[in-house]
Structure 1
């Protein structure tokens, strides 16, 4: 059986939303077609790519590795389709600002791909806090920002969200919660909690906790994702964080497991932002279009406020 682009598109859609049914809705196809594509891939690689749960699916270790390959293949296919027109014509300067989490765990891979597609675009990247990115976009110090769009406050900015990273519970490899059939925020509230503070993570976390009668028992606050990873892996607490920053091993080589929660936890939404009314340069348009091709159906791009 030959690997197909269709199978990879279906697989990545399921990986991003965590539910086969929701992926089918986004792809506008039947659920059975998605299920069949995933099973064909699993037969091809001879190992499961997802763990099935009552509330969705979760990537296995093999699935996470395969997802990286899938993104690379899809990007290469899309690059081949666009290369004849775009590579020869798009040039100029592009100043991009990105928040800590986005720059550390998401953006570099895409900057490399974009630069290969558009070698004549000179990109300058700045790491900044969300408030500084917003101010810089308004004053035109930055052309575009790549950030957590759900945190953006200024209405003078246009937002386009292209990726939502699911949040799951992180626990140590032998944690008792792994034996429960279902885990809720009520269960999490009984555990020592490690609170990440960088990129307004604490405020975001407390926002969805506040919708319940429960509160996390916070034992440590830290701005370091690696500190969270190490603390959780050593069994000193649990934490709810997004798949984007998840790695199965701590720096000490101890394993971290993830659990899908029964409660509805908002995704960590990533996207682009720019000043409303801005006349787009060719480089800005190419940067926006790159992410649309990567993550969105071009006919149904999720745009907030105004279009570029």
Structure 2
């Protein structure tokens, strides 16, 4: 067993498809497939049930995923644990939106705590409007939020990741047999509209650029509700890869499709008050995310 095999296994487990894991890791699909086969051979168990539309974790795969997370965390700590890191101290107040706290920040908070034990992060969950006001009035040092929603000219933003939006459908849906799925076809289906973090407003922005409108069956602020309703065949949705999981809470499969017409990605990143001098803790947080998300230092901010 080696580190890469574990890393490839985790990526495939999280994304549910070898093709998506390969895209995320910028490697070939065959490399991931071979690594997983070698890992299964060494462990003597099947980690995935291979289906026509993806990779489902077996019970043994779910158990190994927990161990894989602990292993990767231990390796990361070993690579970054230095006396210099332990000397870094300070306090930073960070605001974040619901989606970011639920689907992006947790693993990073854990790594930051292990890597910089003397750095204190005070975290607040708020709406974008409240976060923007808090940054301008210096109640918060920085924010991690959907930068694609920020429009306040008094803030500097820096995007860390762009998460592609795709159509979510239940297993066996007719769209899976089609080469191209347009907004015309999507508009013929019952649509589940997510409302949290301005998702409905964002969705209607790109829908309004077409000749069609969604047949909204339900508006909900719960991503898990969307997941379950779609998996049970009661509607479809368009959501980002960041919040995608290949199964619902009931264990039913959810498939994704890239529509034939482009949809804006969901951008996640940092924000702070324009013109403010970054404290050492703020610089550390910015450099950490740049490194983890592989953001070039020459990246433009606005």
TM superposition score category, shorter chain reference = 0.7 to 0.9
Quote the residue 1:257 is aligned against: 254
For residues 92-111 of structure 1, the aligned pairs below 5 Å read 92-111=90-109
Quote the residue 2:2 is aligned against: 3
**In structure 2, do the counterparts of structure 1 residues 302 and 256 end up closer, same or farther at CA, with 3 Å as the change threshold?**
farther
Quote the residue 1:87 is aligned against: 85
Alignment gaps of 5+ in structure 1: 25-32
Runs of 4+ in 1 over 4 A off after TM superposition: 4-9, 15-24, 46-49, 64-79
Does the 8 Å CA contact 2:22/2:32 hold for their aligned counterparts?
Answer: no
For residues 11-26 of structure 1, the aligned pairs below 5 Å read 18=20
Equivalent in 32, 46, 60 of residue 38 of structure 1: 32
2:258 alignment partner, SS class: coil
Number of aligned residue pairs: give it.
290
In the superposition, the TM-score normalised over structure 1's length comes to 0.78
Residues of 2 paired with 1:160 and 1:72: CA distance? 30
Does the 8 Å CA contact 1:184/1:261 hold for their aligned counterparts?
Answer: no
Equivalent in 45, 55, 70 of residue 60 of structure 1: 55
Residues of 1 paired with 2:144 and 2:167: CA distance? 25
Residues of 2 paired with 1:84 and 1:224: CA distance? 41
Residues of 1 paired with 2:182 and 2:65: CA distance? 27
1:289 alignment partner, SS class: helix
Alignment gaps of 5+ in structure 2: 41-45
Q: Deviations along 1:34-60, whole A, 9 cap, x unmatched? A: 4553344244345899x9x9xxxx863
Shift of 1:162: 1.1
RMSD: 3.7
Does the 8 Å CA contact 1:5/1:74 hold for their aligned counterparts?
Answer: no
2:148 alignment partner, SS class: helix
Quote the residue 2:43 is aligned against: none
Does the 8 Å CA contact 2:166/2:259 hold for their aligned counterparts?
Answer: no
